Structure 1
Amino acid sequence: MLDLDRLPLSRKQLRSIGQATARINIWHGSVRSGKTIASLLAFVIAVATAGPSGLIIICGRSLQTIERNCLEPLMDASLFGPLSRHIQHTRGATTATILGRTVHLIGAADTRAEGRLRGLTAQLAYVDEATLLPEGFWTQLLARLSVPGARLMATTNPDSPRHWLKAGYLDRAHELNLRAWHFKLADNPSLSPAYVADLTAEYVGLWRRRMIDGAWVVAEGAIYDQWDEDTHVVSTLPPMRRYWVGLDYGTTNPFAALLLGEGADDRMYVCAEWRHDSRAAHRQMTDAQYSAAVRAWLAEWRHPSDPTAGAGVMPEWTFIDPSAASFIQQLWQDGHPGITRADNSVSDGIRSVSSLLAAGRLLVHCSCEGLLSELPGYSWDPAATAKGEDRPIKVSDHSADALRYVVHSTGHEWRHLLTAHQEPPT
């Protein structure tokens, strides 16, 4: 049923599978380094040998991430061969069946999820992306693994060296019943050199060290340390193929909207900006007034480098601050097309912007004064860093947030530019 010889496993993967007998077993390191496959195999073997007492659990950020990261790979016959026939799960269900055993699936998006563990007794638990779970949930899960010989198996990408998982567990492995294996991208024998090169090109700075090198490194200083006005600011724009808008909503704080275009030269351009600072203007605007102002701005905008271009631009999508529910409703009522909530994953959004800037694929028109004033000072919060968290300082970041919304939400449209063109702009 489980034939390890048919899988292209490295010695490190095989060693970790055989040695995962501690109370806490953690696979950590870079993306696509083979840690998830090794940990899932170790978990399935543990399920096969588990006793009748105590629950078997898989935990993750959400049920959807558990399905995507754990169950779908296990059910993939191209990966696990005959074993995949012994994994059953109906999408959306909170249980799965693995080798005939019922496995409970628990999402842990916030501290409230800790209550889902109270009262249960477990003998085996698998945790997907452990650094994304609340510390209290992890602590409660360990307390529930009370059957003799109970084990926890977990995977994670690196985070801050001050993260609770690193400081409280990995760094104390010699004090605990804990085994850990660190994986780098080179540890995955199934990856082609071309794929490794492409993946490496997609990560820069902090994220390259974490996601490619597998290092637990601290976020410090400027967030966009690759930002260079001489390189990234332009006074002319090429012809544009398409447009999108990113919008950060504010009433007492500034309201910022950015027009992002895909240039005919295969670069992304922040073409224009509209801002309203109610404190500076001594006048607040209603949702209806903001809606009218944004629509008028788009209707009146002209390509600054094309004197023959007519007025008006129609973005394919407008990505809006997800918390701005009333403004989203107002735009719908006013007939603004292509409205959607932005992907507000802060770290992932910052990484997307950083990748484009580092590759020379994101340029900003000199008219975007608010954005140009914010980017040089957009910095990591040292107080959050001291707690093991990556969080920007929430000061003068409204246009920067709008940029993050529109860039990250359109990632599937421009991701290929990172590998197709790796030379810096001239």
Structure 2
Amino acid sequence: MPMLLGSKGSDVLSWRASTELLAGLKDALTRHWEQSPVHSAESLLEQFIAALDQELAFDKRLETARAALERDLEAAATAADLLLAAGRFRDAITRHFKRRRSVLALCGLCNTLHDLLVSRAVTLVQERLSASGRAGAPPCALLVAGDRGRGESTLFSRNRYYLLHDGAPRLNQFRDQLEGLFQELGLVDPERPLWHGSLREWQAQFELVPAPSVPPPQEEFLAALPPFAAPNKSTAPVRAERDWLIGLADLGYLWGSEQLASPTLEAAAAALAAERDSEWFLQYARRGISQPLGVGRFGRWRLERSGERRALLDLKRYALDPVQGTLRILALAAGSTRTGSVARLTFLLERGILDVDLAGRLLNGYQCIMQLKVLLEIRGARNGLFLNPEEFSDETETRFRAALEAVLGLQKLGYQFLIGPV
């Protein structure tokens, strides 16, 4: 069965999976036909059809269960009810992933679960305000950046939420209750509070921050560059206080007034476009695409050296962040407004920035890294994604090393694209 059987739409990963399925079937039939012209090939085809019927029946059962789970979420009256329904939904998603290993299907289901949770949470807050005799929510819009903003939600993703309003004073009651409910549901944490403000306050964030009068030490900037980086040609300071702006490249509309959401998204996109050719963006890009990978010198794993995670590999820091971050930077530099990592990869391929070979290796590599992330979440990872390479099978180690090699190729290409040959 293909990795992404049952996925819908015209995504490049769906095309790839379908092509691999048909190519594999053709090769198998050819081999059996050469050995036994009739009986062997017929038997293989019957087995394939039976297996396909089983997989389609599995998909049908999932759709039935999904419809029932969505009804449970929509009927939930408390945060506890929502958490129980969400837990059952995640169990169904987990069963599907264990059988299919489909990252595309899992992200689609997790996106649906996330949006249903948010929608029901908003409705519950509105119902509480109305029941207490207070006015409901004023015109506002909720936006999200992070995993959901890229359309890459997994079982336990991290996001940042932005609540835009029209300046109405009664927003405070709605905002406070919504943020409290989001915290109960595990959607936000103290490190990433719910941002709120008017459209004017939102636009004011993008005004240029004066550069400090004293630049950082030269050697500090040089130390951040990888061996193949170009020599430093400027002493302009790195405006680290604007690095958060890059995260808005993953911003997307979630709920509420589209009249408020549209100019909000446009303001963020305009700010990113204005910075694209700046010295700050170039310096950020250099640092962003030079993130270390999970394999160090001489092919050794880059492991934690001390603490309770000693001898473990940080998947997020040394694999997931580098591939997502480099694709984001390259897509921004090339003028793309797409948010998903695969969509960005496809854009770079279409523009001729990526060649077909590297794009194919990156697709496979990204699938491998995301699969490892989901498997860690299934095993209970909540406060970090740490792998034990000693537990890798030979196949997993080969795939993961190939994934990191593809990301390294992407980083080198990023330097050539942004800086030029070095």
TM-score, normalised by the number of residues in structure 2:
0.22
More strand as a share of residues: 1
Structure with the larger RCO, 1 or 2 (CA within 8 Å, 6+ apart): 1
Q: TM-score, normalised by structure 1?
A: 0.22
Is the helix fraction higher in 1 or 2? 2
